[in-house]
Amino acid sequence: MSKIIVTGATGFVGEAVVKQCIQNKNVEEVIVLTRKPISKDLLSSSKVNMIVHEEFAQYPDSLLNQLSGAQGCIWTIGEDVEHANDPEAAKKVGIGYTLIAAEAFRERLAPSVPKPPFRFVYCSVRGAVRDQNAKLWVQGESRKIKGAAETGLFDIEAASSGTFKAFALRPGSILSEQSGLMGAGASSFLPAVRVDVLAKAFVKVCLKGADTDVLENADINDIGDLESKLLINSFA
């Protein structure tokens, strides 16, 4: 049984991730790290432990002690820089907050995981670019921010001596759970994934890892759909 940290739970993807953690029999506790209270529906589960943390640039000992015992983190914080009111603040959140958290977890949480590594599963985006000098036509700044965060996470992993493992999931368009079969198969023109399938993929990778560090939209659909079939079969 695992204890998982989830961020961004007041958002579309993060809320779906918490729901999947609640449903997954291999998750014992979901530590929801949030600036604002989450929905009463999520809080009604005995698995959910909400910790209100207003300053994501700091991880004091008092907070890290509350996170002790966590075996992984699913990070879904971030916004589209192109539509942000304050692009610089969006960069701070998208890169800075992500890497500050990852470094704190690598240093304080990862060494005590019973079965290493501590898995940090990051919500990136289709087309994320790590070359910060690249000239991009569509959503260039958002894609470069996600790419910079990926680079930082894999650098932190490299310095961890095997105790910390980073994964980046790169979904395309994220559809609602009511979108039917549209999210089950990725279109070559506009790759998409249903939010519940994406959430299942996040939880599975956090619990078990994956064969590759970066999972593209098609990989996410494969993992999420497989998890759905396993979940259905387990209750048959």
What is the dotted CATH code of the domain comprising 2-234? 3.40.50.720
Helix (H, G, I), strand (E, B) or coil at 143: helix
Helix (H, G, I), strand (E, B) or coil at 4: strand
Helix (H, G, I), strand (E, B) or coil at 162: coil
Q: How far is CA 38 from CA 35, 50, 58, 74, 123, in A?
A: 9, 8, 21, 16, 19
What pLDDT is attached to residue 127?
72
Give 116's DSSP letter. S
Pairing verdict, β 2-7 and 27-34: parallel
Task: Please report where in the chains the tokens 């029999």 appear, as a residue.
Answer: 25
What pLDDT is attached to residue 122?
98
Q: Are 102 and 117 in contact (CB under 8 A)?
A: no
What pLDDT is attached to residue 202?
98
Residue 21: both structure tokens together:
């953690």
What pLDDT is attached to residue 232?
34
Give 236's DSSP letter. -
What pLDDT is attached to residue 138?
54
Give 115's DSSP letter. S
Helix (H, G, I), strand (E, B) or coil at 212: coil
What pLDDT is attached to residue 79?
74
Give the H/E segment covering residue 192: strand 192-194
Task: Please report where in the chains the tokens 């990926």 appear, as a residue.
Answer: 150
Mean pLDDT by 10 residues, the chain (236 residues): 94 98 97 97 97 96 98 91 72 94 98 95 84 58 86 97 97 85 51 94 97 95 67 33
Kindly list the domain boundaries of the chain, sorted by start residue. Answer: 2-234
The answer for residues whose C-beta is within 8 angstroms of residue 197's C-beta and 6 or more apart is 183, 184, 220, 221, 224, 225, 228
What pLDDT is attached to residue 128?
72
Pairing verdict, β 173-175 and 72-75: unpaired
Count other Cβ atoms within 10 Å, centred on residue 18.
31
